């Protein structure tokens, strides 16, 4: 993985798996098993997300997923929203790489101060003013969406669409990840929009064969040419 600002690891291109505890529970699968299967199939970024569990359970979940990923292959593990959970998991010896923060979570600068210069930090930014407000000296990538409204993001009122995704990719000097209601058929449009990654939940977690679904996403991404580039994205691997 190539280095980002200040020597930090940069976000790998391609499918980005959000292991959502609620979606996994609904289909009777363990998040750690799903994460490991996806990484063995070529996914290189895994985010742990559990909106409706207690903090102790979320720490246990994060440790389990991180340990499974480390055995499965090279991939980054991020925690959704919770810097405290990332720190607690690290204290237990889990190799958590960073966090993904929403607009109402801890400020990115505070997260950087707590997690250190080597952590990978992503933020959600859908509106143009939010994208412009992200500090590239602190943040490593932007998650833009939802491209489509989805049940896993019920708080979102308006879909950004592929036009909004493309605008974010053109505006930001940071890599942009498409989020929200996406799957295999969306890979060409996401790449044309200039995104570095495509975040998925159900497309892998709820698939009949998660490992095959992950592998198909990875292969589809690799087969598609990239699209528009942002103002200083040249040379980003």
Binding residues: 47-51, 80-81, 105, 124, 150-153, 181, 201-202
Residue numbering of the annotated binding site for Mg(2+): 81, 105
Residue 21's CB: how many other CB atoms inside 10 A? 20
The C-alpha atoms of residue 131 and residue 129 are separated, in whole angstroms, by 5
Q: Quote the tokens at residue 146.
A: 């939802």
In the block, tokens 């607690």 appear at: 88
Given a contact cutoff of 8 angstroms between Cβ atoms, the answer to whether 101 and 81 are in contact is yes
Which spans in 45-180 are helix H?
Answer: 55-72, 83-91, 108-115, 128-133, 161-171
Render the burial of 184-217: b for 16+ CB within 10 Å, e for the rest: bebbebbbbbbbbbbbbbbbbbbbeebbebbbbb
Does the N-terminal peptide bond of residue 132 adopt cis geometry, omega within 30 degrees of 0? no
């Amino acid at each position: 993985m190539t280095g980002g600002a200040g020597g930090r690891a940069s976000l790998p291109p391609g499918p980005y798996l959000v292991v959502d505890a609620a979606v996994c529970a609904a289909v009777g699968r363990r998040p750690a098993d799903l994460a490991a299967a996806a990484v063995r199939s070529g996914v290189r970024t895994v985010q742990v997300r559990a909106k409706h569990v207690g903090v102790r359970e979320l720490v246990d979940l994060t440790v389990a997923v991180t340990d499974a990923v480390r055995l499965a292959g090279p991939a980054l593990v991020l925690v959704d929203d919770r810097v405290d959970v990332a720190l607690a998991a690290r204290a237990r010896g889990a190799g958590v790489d960073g966090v993904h923060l929403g607009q109402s979570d801890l400020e990115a600068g505070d997260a950087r101060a707590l997690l250190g210069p080597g952590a990978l930090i992503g933020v959600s930014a859908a509106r143009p003013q939010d994208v412009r407000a992200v500090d590239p000296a602190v943040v490593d990538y932007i998650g833009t969406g939802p491209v489509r409204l989805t049940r896993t993001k019920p708080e979102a009122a308006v879909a950004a669409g592929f036009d909004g995704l493309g605008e974010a990719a053109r505006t930001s000097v940071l890599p942009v990840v498409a989020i929200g209601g996406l799957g295999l058929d969306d890979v060409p449009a996401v790449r044309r929009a200039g995104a570095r990654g495509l975040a998925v939940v159900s497309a892998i977690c709820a698939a009949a064969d998660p490992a095959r679904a992950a592998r198909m996403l990875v292969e589809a991404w690799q087969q598609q040419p990239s699209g528009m580039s942002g103002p200083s994205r040249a040379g980003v691997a």
